[in-house]
């Protein structure tokens, strides 16, 4: 019986404002560095105005369309919101992150995240200006 191993690492990503930023390769690097060949990879975003999404990685129009949908669903400057301390995109960014995810759990097989052919992991920035976002990757398994 093999012993359960746990590996944890963090990284930062700078965003340039609203949009999606591919982080799949960085996550694969952390999984490879863990030495774990079978288990789970948990990815956690330490912020309340951005998200992590598993999305199609072949056609960028998919992410553009998701952004257009979210703009319609949760518009900036909506008079419904009282929390506007950091501008008209502040509360909408919080709502967007609550409707999506700030963490993902991915299977690890053969030392890599076991993603579908057209799947990629993205940080989805919901603020209109750029930010430095902090992400922790925890890998557990054999």
Q: What is the pLDDT of residues 85-142, one digit of tens each?
A: 999 999 999 999 999 999 999 999 999 999 999 999 999 999 999 999 999 999 999 9
Q: Which residue has the tokens 């079978």?
A: 38
Q: Interior CA angle at 97 toward 48 and 20, to 5°?
A: 105
pTM assigned to the model: 0.95
Give the tens place of pLDDT for each residue, 61-94.
999 999 999 999 999 999 999 999 999 999 999 9
Which neighbouring-strand residues pair with 10? 136
- Domain count within the chain: 1
Query: Which residue range is the domain that position 88 belongs to?
Result: 5-141
CATH number assigned to the domain comprising residue 78: 2.60.120.460
Q: How many CB atoms lie within 10 A of CB 42?
A: 15
């Amino acid at each position: 019986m093999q012993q359960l191993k746990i590996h944890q690492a963090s990284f930062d990503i700078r965003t340039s404002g609203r949009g999606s930023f591919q982080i799949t390769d960085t996550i694969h690097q952390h999984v490879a560095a863990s030495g774990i060949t079978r288990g789970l990879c948990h990815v956690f975003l330490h912020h309340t105005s951005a998200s992590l999404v598993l999305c199609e990685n072949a056609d960028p129009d998919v992410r553009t369309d998701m952004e257009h949908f979210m703009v319609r669903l949760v518009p900036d400057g909506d008079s419904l919101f009282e929390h506007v301390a950091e501008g008209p995109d502040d509360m909408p960014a919080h709502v967007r992150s609550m409707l999506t995810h700030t963490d993902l759990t991915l299977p690890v097989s053969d030392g890599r995240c076991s993603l579908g052919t057209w799947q990629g992991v993205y940080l989805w920035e919901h603020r209109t200006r750029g930010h430095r976002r902090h992400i922790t990757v925890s890998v557990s398994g054999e």
